[in-house]
């Protein structure tokens, strides 16, 4: 039995915490530094919830809700709490639904580069979300041990 998180879960907890901070700051126009358009496709900043992109003040409620969820989820992974198992599967389902609805509701990216970026982003987001859920499922006995 493993008693530590391991590298993958540690990395994902940190990345989820960063994503939470980013989602919490988006409604306030704090998306972080912008990169050259040559390397990063044009992406309208905002919070995407259930396939709809919210920007500005409209992003406040979904940004705070998603950010809070991700913080609790990241803490659950970091502390190896049993509730992280449930949140992992909820988040994996949410990511799949969100990506699918966004793809259905929005036009295809106009350039080949943006299309490739969108495909890679979708595949990576779904893969990572599901892999964390699977990893926590495999480590479920370790999670149960840490409940005090």
pLDDT score recorded for residue 36: 47
Provide mean pLDDT across the span 60-78: 90
> Domains of the chain: which residue ranges?
7-145
pTM above 0.85, yes or no: no
Are 144 and 82 a contacting pair, CB within 8 Å?
yes
- Binned at pLDDT 50, 70 and 90, residue 92 comes out as very high
* β-pair partners for 47: 54
Provide mean pLDDT across the span 127-146: 83
3 state DSSP class of 53: strand
User: Is pLDDT above 50 for 1?
Assistant: no
pLDDT score recorded for residue 106: 82
C-beta atoms surrounding 28 within 10 Å: 12
pLDDT score recorded for residue 71: 95
* Radius of gyration of the chain measured on its C-alpha atoms: 16
pLDDT score recorded for residue 127: 94
Q: Read out DSSP for 101-126?
A: HHHHHSPPPSSHHHHHHHHHHHHHHH
- Binned at pLDDT 50, 70 and 90, residue 125 comes out as very high
User: Is pLDDT above 80 for 108?
Assistant: yes
User: Whole-number mean pLDDT of the chain?
Assistant: 82
């Amino acid at each position: 039995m493993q008693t530590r998180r391991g590298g993958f879960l540690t990395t994902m907890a940190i990345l989820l915490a960063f994503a939470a901070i980013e989602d919490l700051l988006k409604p306030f126009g704090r998306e972080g530094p912008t990169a050259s358009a040559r390397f990063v496709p044009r992406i309208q900043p905002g919070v995407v919830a259930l396939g709809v992109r919210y920007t500005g003040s409209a992003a406040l409620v979904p940004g705070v809700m998603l950010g809070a969820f991700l913080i609790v989820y990241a803490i659950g992974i970091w502390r190896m709490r049993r509730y992280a198992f449930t949140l992992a599967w909820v988040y994996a389902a949410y990511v799949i639904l969100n990506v699918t609805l966004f793809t259905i509701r929005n036009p295809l990216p106009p350039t080949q580069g943006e299309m490739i970026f969108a495909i890679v982003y979708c595949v990576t987001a779904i893969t990572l979300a599901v892999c964390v859920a699977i990893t926590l499922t495999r480590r479920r006995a370790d999670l149960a041990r840490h409940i005090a």
